């Protein structure tokens, strides 16, 4: 996150709007039916064009009772060090994808996560869902 901008619920809402807008733009250009890896590469470019700071294919550290585990957990995008973005190109979002996102949010101490499925005719209405957790609940509104 930009050190000059305080982490608030309203900041995260604006950032979520920007991220979903980037996903919609990629989907508008490419349509549905491609591999997740194609959308991933295009989304990297779209986020760069929008000047958002992010890591992609971020290896998530996992510490179990003092033992660092090499679990090879990777989130698709960690944007502005506060929002996890997981993308899919599947017929339907399975509960395991939601659990995966929530786990990544917990491990990264991220207050918000977004799950986007590019295999849809409309990302805004049917292809994306946002999630919040206990870290979000503790943030100030503005």
Q: Write the pLDDT tens digit of every residue in 65-121.
A: 999 998 889 999 999 999 999 999 999 999 999 999 999 999 999 999 999 999 999
pTM: 0.93
Q: What is the DSSP letter of 14?
A: H
List pLDDT tens digits, range 122-136. Answer: 999 889 999 999 999
For residues 129 and 93, the answer to whether their CB atoms sit within 8 Å is yes
Q: What pLDDT does residue 80 have? A: 97
Which CA distances in Å does 92 have to 70, 88, 96, 98? 30, 9, 11, 12
**42 pLDDT tier (thresholds 50, 70, 90):** very high
Inter-residue contact 7 to 139 (CB < 8 Å): yes
**Measured distance CA(15)–CA(13) in Å, rounded:** 5
d(CA 112, CA 16): 9
- Res. 3 pLDDT band, cuts 50 70 90: low
């Amino acid at each position: 996150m930009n050190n000059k901008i305080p982490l608030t619920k309203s900041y995260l809402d604006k950032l979520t709007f920007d991220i979903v807008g980037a996903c919609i733009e990629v989907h508008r250009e490419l349509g549905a039916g491609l591999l997740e890896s194609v959308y991933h590469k295009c989304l990297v470019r779209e986020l760069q064009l929008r000047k958002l700071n992010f890591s992609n294919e971020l290896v998530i550290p996992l510490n179990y009772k003092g033992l660092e585990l090499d679990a090879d957990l990777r989130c698709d995008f960690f944007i502005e060090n506060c929002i996890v973005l997981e993308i899919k190109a599947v017929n339907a979002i399975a509960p395991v994808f939601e659990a995966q996102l929530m786990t990544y949010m917990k491990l990264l101490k991220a207050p918000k996560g977004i799950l986007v499925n590019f295999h849809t005719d409309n990302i805004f209405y049917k292809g994306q869902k946002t999630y919040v957790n206990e870290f979000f609940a503790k943030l100030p509104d503005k």
